[in-house]
Amino acid sequence: MTDENPYEAPESIRPRSPRAGRFELASRGLRLLGAILDGLAVGVVQVPIFLGLGFLDFGNLGAQQAVGVLVLMWLIGLGTFLLVQGWLLPRGQTVGKLMFGMRIVDIRTNEPPGFGRVFGMRYLPTMFLSSIPLIGPVVGLVDALMIFRADRRCLHDLIASTRVIEVSARKR
């Protein structure tokens, strides 16, 4: 009698991406430093715009005007983010990730996921949710605390099916 099961599914060989080999997850500390640098880079552009347009004085606005100003601020913030970071996103990097030797890659292929997926799935949903009163701070906290999981993937990584890896200096 044989031990073979005629109903067992056949084994298959999973195709591998050229880059699906070895990789090192970016450290939590480097990711934090990269995020701080990204925030500073965008802030350097945003603050003068907001000051110049007088957006920091909400005291004399009615409710409708305040909502309009908030939407405009969000759009300006989005525009400055794209201005500062957008040219690197197709490579899976931001200013902070480039400076600290990291790259955003697809969880399955270890290839940069491209601008549309990085921006549309990784950044836009959490940017939008973070701007909602009461919900935003909770989303931001959950997103940040998820870095302490074993796979070091935050909420935005899970949404976009990405991870952040270290990149050697010659591959940046």
- On whether the pTM is more than 0.85, the answer is no
User: What's the rounded Cα separation, in Å, for the pair 60 and 155?
Assistant: 37
CA 52 – CA 71 distance, rounded (Å): 17
Q: Which range among 10-19, 70-79, 141-150 shows the weakest confidence by mean pLDDT?
A: 10-19
The residue ranges of every structural domain in the chain are 28-165
More confident residue, 68 or 159: 159
Both tokens of 38, joined, read 């990204």
